[in-house]
Amino acid sequence: MIMAGLEDITTGPARIYYIHSEGYGEIIKFRCSGLGGTYAHTLAKFLQDEAESAEENARRIAFVIHKPCGSRQILPAFRTND
């Protein structure tokens, strides 16, 4: 599960957390979810560039993961620059 929000609920930098099935969470910069998300994340993690905007990273990664995963739905989630 992916959970996002401001660090101090109403203020602070935006954060994204990946909640593992065991119940613990970790702060992440991005994660691909959906059917095939684990496989897509393996490829996409090498394409993320923090100097680029979230939109540019989404375009780059979505283009690459669209082909190997075919019709599977994969949703990349990104944290925008603070």
Angle at CA 44, nearest 5°, toward 3 and 36? 70
Closest CA to 5 of 34, 25, 35: 25
Range of the domain at 15: 2-78
Closest CA to 2 of 46, 32, 39: 32
Q: Using an 8 Å Cβ cutoff, are 54 and 78 in contact?
A: yes
pLDDT digits (tens, 9 = 90+) for 30-40: 787 777 777 77
**pLDDT > 60? residue 75:** no
**pLDDT > 70? residue 74:** no
Q: How many domains does the chain have?
A: 1
39 vs 10, more confident = 10
Instruction: List beta partners, residue 27.
Output: 17
